[in-house]
Structure 1
């Protein structure tokens, strides 16, 4: 049985930033450690390291998935990554950033420099196995006029998605500011994939000591609701939308809310709630799929391992566990693990 991991990750390395253009070298991230105060240890057992990026710092060797090696997580050794995929029964991975799930930078120029470098690095890495390794490009949100060139380049070099976070630079995803990017997504056949994350410095840092539920999950579910409520998918009928690393257990609640809310505005929720909006959602392997599909059907759910990361959505053997669930019809399992993600990512 084929399978597509709809949510895998790579950890950025010093090699990533070797792709920074010469004129932007001043923005090269630095690796630092704490020299005073309480010592912290990373998930690899070594002293905690941090990326210093545009005068913001972010953990580097933290949230590491057990059962993976540094060569696999950082894609230093593509053969090792592919061999592990074979062990896990995964044919294809769609790879997302780690650093840019949060507001990594402060300024438009730094964002442009580092997202371009990341895209070229991950594009070159995945080019070693283009049939099995696909990737989500990271756009420069504050340089919207530069994104046509970047999306065109990414599409030509194996990108299968455009990644956004639940909030971007103090803007909601329904803001017309993003419409040019959505137009590009439709033109180049790349889905807009909202990955669990937050691009708002003020919102992210306000919740800095909270869990990812507040920092990352809530903005993304709110974005889903707002996109449907404001009929943004209807304005861009050629765009596919993905919602990644959020689970799917929240879908029935959002569906019922919109079913009651929209009639007040002369609209109704479609019976094919996800399909008619070209929306796909990555479920967790422990979600109550039978219950969820009563509301949203079975044709627009996918799953992922969260490969490389270690949090509540992570499960390196997700596909084996999911295939062995006896409460889901095998035909539905086939859709969720293979057919649906291929439609989402245009594989």
Structure 2
């Protein structure tokens, strides 16, 4: 039985942007170092020293970097070292998500397309070094929908198993018809659509400038789950598997209770297996009250990840081991979370 880490991360470096074309070099993100002024604190209490500058917008580079992995492993400069660490953690497959794209980077379609294209080709080359163990989700150029099919087809052909979206994309809810072409393409290619704890709205990001991430990242993504089901988007695109990642699973009972009330007021009965019926999966955390959550989610919809490479509230490098050793839930349910459900979400077969 393979053990699948459904949410691991890569940390981008200048190597990521080496995949920009010659004409796109002018868009390459720049690294700057703080030498003066008051310090900003990273998530684990040390000072932030490096920042990305993307399209004249500055963001911390080392805000959310965990100490459990070596820099070379988390930056994918040492693939054998990454695989050896996975072996030590008893992980067979990691599904890789980005870091820099978890916050808004640009509103310029040309810049966004160049960065997404470079990132996806970097990940494609990483996959080729360990195709049975390192899978990934593509970053779509949402401001260039006319280029979406070509980009996602490349990703699918080079090891991608999904498409990452943020809770808000280009200041739109994920239920907006604007995204229907993306969903059509994902359906045709067999790629999961995976809203990750993140936002791609400068308005919301700046509004919550001093928020630690709960409002601007996590609630945006949980709200996307509600909006998608409320508007019947999974029913419109029944071939898509939806994965809500890095927002824990503790919200499922509250969301389904609220959604059920609203649907009943419209004369619609919500099925008990609402998540499973809509091909919706949720990445849980070992800190979740899983006995309670499972009463609402069912056994076939939860997956789990380590958040490898990061240092936020979702990070637990030993999550896959701890959920098995915890003893709170039945072994067959744990097997589903670690294997069957993750395989179903990402089409790992």
Point out where structure 1 has 5 or more consecutive residues left out of the alignment. Answer: none
TM-score in terms of structure 1 length: 0.97
Q: Distance in 1 between matches of 2:244 and 2:55?
A: 28
C-alpha contact (below 8 Å) 1:12/1:98 kept by paired residues: yes
C-alpha contact (below 8 Å) 1:50/1:58 kept by paired residues: yes
What's the offset of the Cα at 1:316? 0.5
**Partner of residue 78, structure 1:** 79
What's the offset of the Cα at 1:39? 4.1
**Partner of residue 23, structure 2:** 23
**Partner of residue 317, structure 1:** 318
**Partner of residue 209, structure 1:** 210
Q: Distance in 2 between matches of 1:150 and 1:63?
A: 28
Q: Distance in 1 between matches of 2:119 and 2:34?
A: 26
Q: Distance in 2 between matches of 1:160 and 1:24?
A: 27
What's the offset of the Cα at 1:35? 3.6
What's the offset of the Cα at 1:37? 1.2
Q: Which runs of 4+ in 1 moved over 2 A?
A: 39-47
**Partner of residue 191, structure 1:** 192
Point out where structure 2 has 5 or more consecutive residues left out of the alignment. Answer: none
**Partner of residue 38, structure 2:** 38
Q: Which residues in structure 2 correspond to 1:148-297 (within 5 Å)?
A: 148-297=149-298
C-alpha contact (below 8 Å) 2:64/2:311 kept by paired residues: yes
C-alpha contact (below 8 Å) 1:92/1:134 kept by paired residues: yes
What's the offset of the Cα at 1:106? 2.9
What's the offset of the Cα at 1:266? 2.6
Q: Distance in 2 between matches of 1:234 and 1:209?
A: 37
C-alpha contact (below 8 Å) 1:6/1:93 kept by paired residues: yes
**Partner of residue 49, structure 2:** 48
Q: What whole-Å deviation, never above 9, does each CA across 1:194-223 have from its counterpart, x for those lacking one? A: 000000011111111111101101111111
Q: Distance in 1 between matches of 2:195 and 2:128?
A: 24
Q: Does structure 1 residue 11 correspond to structure 2 residue 41?
A: no
**Partner of residue 116, structure 2:** 115
C-alpha contact (below 8 Å) 2:48/2:60 kept by paired residues: no
Q: Does structure 1 residue 344 correspond to structure 2 residue 316?
A: no
Q: Which residues in structure 2 correspond to 1:75-114 (within 5 Å)?
A: 75-114=76-115
Q: Distance in 2 between matches of 1:50 and 1:222?
A: 29
Q: What whole-Å deviation, never above 9, does each CA across 1:161-181 have from its counterpart, x for those lacking one? A: 000000011111111000000
Q: Distance in 1 between matches of 2:311 and 2:198?
A: 15
Q: Distance in 2 between matches of 1:44 and 1:172?
A: 33
What's the offset of the Cα at 1:58? 1.4
Q: Distance in 2 between matches of 1:67 and 1:19?
A: 28
Q: Distance in 2 between matches of 1:67 and 1:51?
A: 23
C-alpha contact (below 8 Å) 1:44/1:64 kept by paired residues: no
C-alpha contact (below 8 Å) 2:68/2:309 kept by paired residues: no
Q: Secondary structure at the match of 2:58?
A: strand
Q: Distance in 1 between matches of 2:37 and 2:101?
A: 27
C-alpha contact (below 8 Å) 1:56/1:106 kept by paired residues: no
C-alpha contact (below 8 Å) 1:41/1:48 kept by paired residues: no
What's the offset of the Cα at 1:268? 2.0
The count of residues paired between Structure 1 and Structure 2 equals 347
C-alpha contact (below 8 Å) 2:39/2:47 kept by paired residues: no
